[in-house]
Amino acid sequence: MRVQVLIKEMNKDIIMKNLEFRIPLIGSAISLFIGGLLLIGKVPSILTLGTMIIVVILVSLSFLITRYKNLIHVGGILGILAIISSATAPAHNEALLNFGKSLYITTLDLLMILGFYVFPIIYIYFWVFTIIRRKTIT
C-alpha cells in the first residue's frame, strides 16, 4: 500500500513539473496539428508532413523536459524560430491579410497565431525569466 502511494506521488510530481514550459509546447502542438489537418490537400504534402513532425517533436519535448532540464533551451530556440519563420513566410502574411473573409481562413489564422506566436511567446517569457533567475541566484 505504501509503495502505491509513493508511485502516485511521483506521477503527480512528474505531471506538475515544468508546467510553465509544457503547456505552451502542448498548446502549440495542438494548434499546429489542427491547422495541419485543415490544410491537407490545400498545401503540398511535404508541408503537412513537416507540420506533423514538428507536432511530434513538441509533444516529445514537453515530456522530456521533466527529465532533462537543458532541453528547456531547445524549446526556447524553437519558439524563436517559430516566430521568425511565420513572420517571414509570405503564405502566412497573405493569410493574415485575409483574416475574417471566411470562417475557414479565420480559423486557420487563429490557429496560426496561437501556434506560431502566442504559445511560443509564453514559452519564451518563462524561458528568459528562468535564465535570469538562475543567473541572479548564482
pLDDT at 38 over 90: yes
Return mean pLDDT, the chain: 89
Of 79, 75, 87, nearest to 121 by C-alpha is 79
**Domain span at residue 67?**
2-137
C-alpha cell of 50? Answer: 513537416
Question: Domain tally for the chain?
Answer: 1
| Whole-angstrom distance, CA of residue 114 vs CA of residue 56 | 17
| Whole-angstrom distance, CA of residue 111 vs CA of residue 96 | 11
Q: What are residue 101's phi and psi, to 5 degrees?
A: -80, -25
| Whole-angstrom distance, CA of residue 95 vs CA of residue 46 | 19
Of the chain, the percentage scoring pLDDT greater than 90 comes to 77
pLDDT at residue 133, as a whole number: 84
Of the chain, the percentage scoring pLDDT greater than 70 comes to 87
Q: What is the pLDDT of residues 62-96, one digit of tens each?
A: 999 999 989 999 999 999 999 999 999 999 999 99
Confidence (pTM): 0.84
